[in-house]
């Protein structure tokens, strides 16, 4: 927490309350779009932030490696704390449920991609789509 400022400064960036509030909101929501994050920030008691500031804060926090995002659906980058990036995200096409499995579950895939293409894959950014246990049965 306290070294957030240090990490920012190390990149010539600054610690502002806005960035702290956005980071806190991302932490509280776990998986959220910029829009939802803006709402959550507004709900923390302080005055709401302009969307532009939310976007810029998300960018900054991401460059810092504190948060990351995946593409849960067409029009929705979903942000989460970097610590959540220790999972592969799994998204249900039926109900939108977002689950996760440990990164290691993809070790073999990563190895094969590396082997075939010389590609360094970062699976933590991937969202795997499919149907959850419940939606598999439903019509």
The least distance separating a second copy from the CB of residue 130, rounded to whole angstroms, comes to 4
56 near DNA, rule: CB under 7 A: yes
From 53-61, 85-93, 107-115, 117-125, give the range in contact with DNA by CB under 7 A. Answer: 53-61
Beta-bridge partners for 45: none
Integer angstrom CA distances of residue 83 from 57, 69, 115 = 18, 11, 27
With CB cut-offs between 5 and 8 Å by kind, which of DNA, a second copy, none does residue 62 bind? none
Q: Which of 1, 17, 116, 137 binds DNA (CB under 7 A)?
A: 17
Integer angstrom CA distances of residue 52 from 20, 41, 79, 82, 118 = 15, 13, 16, 22, 38
Q: How many residues bind DNA (CB under 7 A)?
A: 28
With CB cut-offs between 5 and 8 Å by kind, which of a second copy, DNA, none does residue 94 bind? none
Q: Which of 88, 96, 138, 139 binds a second copy (CB under 8 A)?
A: 88
Rounded CA gap, 58 and 36, in Å?
A: 12
CB-based contacts of 11, cutoff 8 Å, min separation 6: 63, 64
Binding-site ranges for DNA (CB under 7 A): 5, 8-9, 12-19, 33-35, 47, 49-53, 55-57, 60, 74-77
């Amino acid at each position: 927490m306290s070294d957030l400022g240090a990490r920012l400064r190390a990149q010539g960036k600054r610690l502002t309350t806005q960035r702290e509030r956005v980071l806190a909101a991302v932490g509280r929501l776990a998986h959220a779009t910029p829009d939802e994050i803006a709402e959550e920030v507004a709900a923390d008691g302080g005055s709401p932030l302009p969307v532009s500031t939310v976007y810029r804060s998300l960018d900054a926090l991401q460059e810092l490696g504190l948060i990351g995002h995946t593409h849960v659906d067409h029009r929705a980058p979903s942000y989460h704390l970097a610590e959540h990036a220790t999972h592969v995200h799994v998204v249900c096409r039926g109900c939108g449920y977002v689950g996760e499995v440990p990164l290691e579950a993809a070790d073999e895939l990563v190895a094969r991609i590396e082997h075939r293409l010389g590609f360094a894959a970062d699976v933590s950014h991937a969202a795997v789509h499919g149907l959850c246990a419940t939606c598999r049965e439903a019509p």
